[in-house]
Amino acid sequence: MSGIKATGEKKLMLFAGRAYPELAEEVAAELGADLTPTSAYDFANGEVFVRFEESVRGCDAFVLQSHSAPLNKWIMEQLIMVDTLKRASAKRITVVIPFYGYARQDKKHRGREPITARLMADLFKTAGADRLMAVDLHTSQIQGFFDGPVDHLFALPLLAQYVGNRIDRSKITIVSPDAGRVRVAERWTDTLNAPLAIIHKRRDPMVANEVKVHEVVGDVRGRTCVIVDDMIDTGGTIVKAADALFDNGAADVIVTATHGVFSGAAIDRLKNSRVSEVVVCNTLPISEEQRIDKLTVLSIAPLLGRAIREVFDDGSVTSLFDGHA
């Protein structure tokens, strides 16, 4: 059987879409469970069909799908899976999203713009989700968009432990690549007992993904600078930030991020940059072609497995991050 039974005949069942089967298998192994057999395919016109091959009545369902490219297709598939579970009488449905699509569209910058991160939460609620679980949301306010419990998981302990074990901590300076990441960077400084530097930049509102780096605030001369961010998309911001740090005397630059989106020429930019190492988690699939020598990928599966177990056992997800959140 694919479910884990507990006292009172509670039954945990893990479901996974087609976006990232490798991570789903890792999470299932952490839980000691099997993935529920599922039939999923596309019709000729692109419509998605889903059917579960086992009864889900009364189960505690966890639906795992990371929103990788083609993002809209995988989001729709996950919504259909939730609707399927709701109509098949699952008792509770938790949507597990290692990377939450549209998280950057969390507010209006100008008039006549959407707040798509809120729309995403509304769609999952309408489909029948009782709870959301995500890793390192772009902004914490997204938790308030969903009308129900949201488990916001943090990769910081995993990433910081790796960095702290690799580098002389007395030489580390944590760097926030912009003002919006300062709060996250401060958590890193608390964890590694390291000083903080901030890169002041301004985006060109007329050119997508165009960033102008102005200055480094903080002393980075002779230091090993660790840039911390939630995601690496095109790599432009990170490479320019690294250049600014080297121009200000940094001895070395390491980049850490939870989500390796790696759009377009991101991998080539990072490969040809002066950054010595790029550390990400496997919240998104990373192809063999993208796995360059300076890229390190850490598994998020143990964290997802522990969080799912805590929710199933009605325990405390927050306790996983005592001292880090």
Give the DSSP per-residue string, 249-266: T-SEEEEEEEEE---TTH
- Report in angstroms the alpha-carbon separations of 49 from 80, 110, 290: 8, 38, 31
Strand, coil or helix: 300: coil
Encode pLDDT of 4-43 as tens digits.
655 457 899 999 999 999 999 999 999 999 999 999 999 9
Give CA torsion, residues 317, 318, 319, 325, to 10 deg.
140
The verdict on whether 201 is a catalytic residue reads yes
Encode pLDDT of 33-85 as tens digits.
999 999 999 999 999 999 999 999 999 999 999 999 999 999 999 999 999 99
* pLDDT tens for each residue of the chain, 325 residues long: 456 655 457 899 999 999 999 999 999 999 999 999 999 999 999 999 999 999 999 999 999 999 999 999 999 999 999 999 999 999 999 999 999 999 999 999 999 999 999 999 999 999 999 999 999 999 999 999 999 999 999 999 999 999 999 999 999 999 999 888 899 999 999 999 999 999 987 665 655 555 565 689 999 999 999 999 999 999 998 999 999 999 999 999 999 999 999 999 999 999 999 999 999 999 999 999 999 999 999 999 999 999 999 999 999 998 888 765 5
Strand, coil or helix: 118: helix
pTM of the model: 0.92
Order across the sheet with 211-217: list the strands. Answer: 211-217, 196-203, 172-176, 224-232, 252-260, 277-281, 295-298
Sort 7 into a burial class: Cβ within 10 Å, 0-12 / 13-18 / 19+.
exposed
pLDDT for the residue numbered 54: 97
Q: Which residues contact 42 (CB under 8 A, 6 or more apart)?
A: 48, 49
Given the residues 73, 201, 271, 294, the one annotated as active site:
201
| CATH 3.40.50.2020-classified regions of the chain | 4-154+301-319, 156-298
Where do we find the tokens 């507010």?
A: 107
Residue (of 308, 256, 259, 254) closest to 282 by Cα position = 259
Q: Which residues contact 136 (CB under 8 A, 6 or more apart)?
A: 152, 153, 154, 155, 230, 258, 259, 283
Residue (of 160, 174, 135, 196) closest to 323 by Cα position = 160
For the 4-154+301-319 domain, the top CATH level (class) is alpha beta
CA–CA dist 129, 152 (Å, integer): 16
Altogether, the residues listed in the chain come to a count of 325
pLDDT for the residue numbered 7: 47
CATH of domain 156-298: 3.40.50.2020
